[in-house]
Amino acid sequence: MKFGLSLPYGAGVAGDPEWMRSFVADAEASGFESVYLVEHIVMVDGHRDVYPYAESGRVPLRNDCAIPDPIDVLCYLAAVTDRIRLGTSVLVAPHHHPLMLAKRLATLDLYSSGRAMVGLGVGWMREEIEACGGRFDCRGRQTDELIDAMRAAWNESPANFHGEYFSFEGAMSYPKPLQPGGVPIHIGGHSMAAARRAGLRGDGFQPLGVTGDDLARRMVEMRRSAESVGRDPDAIELTLRGSLASIDEAAVEAIRAAGAHRVILSCTTAELERLAEQMWAVSALMDVIG
């Protein structure tokens, strides 16, 4: 089982470079495999769409909460770490052009010595996507093309791609990622469409906010979709969620029984000393469970 960490964004710490540096240093020292940042280019005051990962339907963040560009921050963290993997969970795919995102992720992979991972989702907030020039109603098909076009840019020279939303011919994109085949792409989302996308295109699946029978149904759909195109569903990494403050051996065993390869633990405090204590407690748990 691999263990990752996500940030307590609500405390505003993502806008504090020194806090970030200390946090990721403690995470690496205590044996965590990975750290994950989120993306929101803008938050929209009074958004109408329901946030799908909280019972209230509202984002549990203030509108002025600092959410810096995740790839830029990960490049900073790459410079102050040696081993921990650097990921997003998740990027909002409709915000990005595949050639631009492919270049940024390849650069992160190069400067981190092959430690980059990218979680991609279609996004849920119509107002944010439209404010940034995206098209909300076709974001699923656009995300599929984005993934295919990025892989073309990483693995072909020259790269050619012709789709409904993106098209290029003779594109020479360098540097290439250090990781063979490109930066691993993990599909994030709670829908059956996300499960299908993970099966058809993903290196991993992050079924956000889904548990129990709902999770089981999505895993069946992911596996069926992978097999339909000749992919090995067992090679698609499943990442589930937990809490740094409350994770224990029983919770890890339940996550493992669900088929997970990794758990991303959320932080409920921004106090660095307390976080370090919790990280080292989980480190001891890692030794116990193997």
Average of per-residue pLDDT across 100-119: 99
Average of per-residue pLDDT across 137-158: 98
The pLDDT, as a whole number, for residue 9 is 96
- Residue-by-residue DSSP string for 2-42: EEEEE--GGGTGGG-HHHHHHHHHHHHHTT--EEEE---S-
**Is it the case that residue 172 has pLDDT exceeding 90?**
yes
What helix, strand, coil percent values describe the chain, rounded to 5?
Answer: 45, 15, 40
Residue burial 101-135, b: 16+ Cβ < 10 Å; e: rest = bbbbbbbbbbbbeebbbbbbbbbbbbbbbeeeebe
Average of per-residue pLDDT across 58-87: 94
Confidence of residue 62 (pLDDT cuts 50, 70, 90): confident
Q: What angle do CA 121, 127, 131 make, to 5 degrees?
A: 95
The pLDDT, as a whole number, for residue 109 is 99
The pLDDT, as a whole number, for residue 209 is 87
Q: What percent of the chain has pLDDT over 90?
A: 91
Average of per-residue pLDDT across 178-207: 98
**Is it the case that residue 71 has pLDDT exceeding 80?**
yes
Instruction: Round the average pLDDT of the chain to a whole number and report it.
Output: 96
**Is it the case that residue 47 has pLDDT exceeding 90?**
no
**pLDDT tens digits, residue range 150-160?**
999 999 999 99
Average of per-residue pLDDT across 220-235: 99
The pLDDT, as a whole number, for residue 49 is 75
**Is it the case that residue 6 has pLDDT exceeding 80?**
yes
Q: Which amino acid is residue 60, in one-letter code? A: P
Average of per-residue pLDDT across 263-268: 98
CATH number of the domain enclosing 95: 3.20.20.30
Confidence of residue 67 (pLDDT cuts 50, 70, 90): very high
**What whole-number distance in Å separates Cα of residue 196 and Cα of residue 193?**
5
- Per DSSP, helices labelled H in the chain are 17-29, 70-79, 98-111, 126-131, 139-155, 192-201, 212-228, 249-257, 272-289
Q: Residue 41 is part of which domain span?
A: 2-289
Among 53-57, 65-69, 70-74, 200-204, which stretch is predicted with the lowest mean pLDDT?
A: 53-57
Contact between 76 and 25 (Cβ < 8 Å): no
The pLDDT, as a whole number, for residue 52 is 81
Count of the separate structural domains present in the chain: 1
**Is it the case that residue 186 has pLDDT exceeding 90?**
yes
Average of per-residue pLDDT across 85-93: 98
**Is it the case that residue 58 has pLDDT exceeding 80?**
no
Average of per-residue pLDDT across 67-79: 99
**Is it the case that residue 149 has pLDDT exceeding 80?**
yes
